[in-house]
Amino acid sequence: MFLYSIFDNRNEAILFSVFCVVIILFLAIDLGIFNRKAHIISTKAALIQSIFWVMISLVFGWGIYVFDGGPQPSLEYFSAYLTEYALSVDNIFVILMILQFFEVKEKYYHKVLFWGIMGAVIFRAVFIFAGAILVSKFAWILYIFGAFLVYSGVKIYIEKAESEVDPGQNRLMLFFKKRLNFTEEERGGSFFFKENGKVYFTTLFLVVILVESTDIIFAVDSIPAAFAITQNEFLIYTSNVFAILGLRAKFFLLAGIIEQFYLLKKGLSIVLIFIGGKMLLLFIDIHIPIAVSFSVIIGTLSLSIFLSLIFPKDRKPKPTQLELFEVYEEPDSPQNKSETEKVS
């Protein structure tokens, strides 16, 4: 009874059933057939997967247009999808830092991301439906969401691009390390194994926990943003999940070039400020049409990507070992002077 109550009509229930079948089917094929063994994901495979998930998302959005009320719900779906999809780019950067920090072999990247994203799908369901219950009972929470999004947008806009992240000091990681038996043994990419009557957890298990915690942190921005676009939890959840599933393929596609889109973060901050402001304007009974919101979101994100490519960020070349040696060498030191005199 509760599950049916989250849908506005019978067609939404049917679409959600199709959504669940598609997600379960393709994840089973992914893990059970294409990626049964650990291997490095090629750029070509990542590109094909990225296009595939984008196409599936577009087809589902078309299904919403045809069977769920026309342009209004479909534009809400695509607006929420685009916002989450763009926000996940920043998530890619943090996940890459975690994998590199723990020196995870590239062939295990897919396994870590697969199970990390599976957890994200579950946690997003909990957060979204809990948020929907709160919003239905306390409508003023939407204004808090709006104010929080404006604050987050301003904070993201003014913060330095090179923010330091230290996975080694993550509280969740330290919590598990104190309470579980961990080993640095690889064990063929296993998350845990049993030896001498004891269960040991590998570094890979710890990495999955950190990836999961990273998604939860990013959900603090993305879920309020989705609620600011639409209060239909069916549209919020499906758009979120499709964007998250696209994240895995997008990771392998963008991991090496993500720093080139340096203005995307500024674009995201503007989008968050706009969405938050749109929600706050409802307090004085000013409604911004969803078509305008969709245009602002896609226009801002597209412009930030375009400007990043047209005006590439200046990068200071890393000093070579010889240059570093010359920096630390003291030519005027007494030792160097005596050596020079001996040579002369």
Per-residue model confidence as pLDDT tens digits over 134-159:
888 888 888 888 898 898 889 888 87
Alpha helices (runs of H) in the chain, residue ranges in sequence order: 2-5, 10-29, 43-67, 71-101, 109-137, 141-158, 171-179, 203-229, 233-254, 264-281, 290-310, 321-328, 334-343
CB 308 within 8 Å of CB 260: yes
| Residue boundaries of the structural domains of the chain | 2-318
Tokens of 232: 């239909």
Is the per-residue pLDDT at 175 higher than 70?
yes
Which pTM was predicted? 0.76
* Other beta carbons less than 10 A from residue 326's beta carbon: 11
Tokens of 303: 């412009």
Q: What is the pLDDT of residues 288-334, one digit of tens each?
A: 888 888 899 889 988 988 898 888 876 555 444 444 444 444 445 44
The segment with the largest mean pLDDT, out of 219-223, 225-229, 245-249, is 225-229
* Other beta carbons less than 10 A from residue 101's beta carbon: 15
Closest of 13, 12, 138, 142 to residue 65, by C-alpha: 12
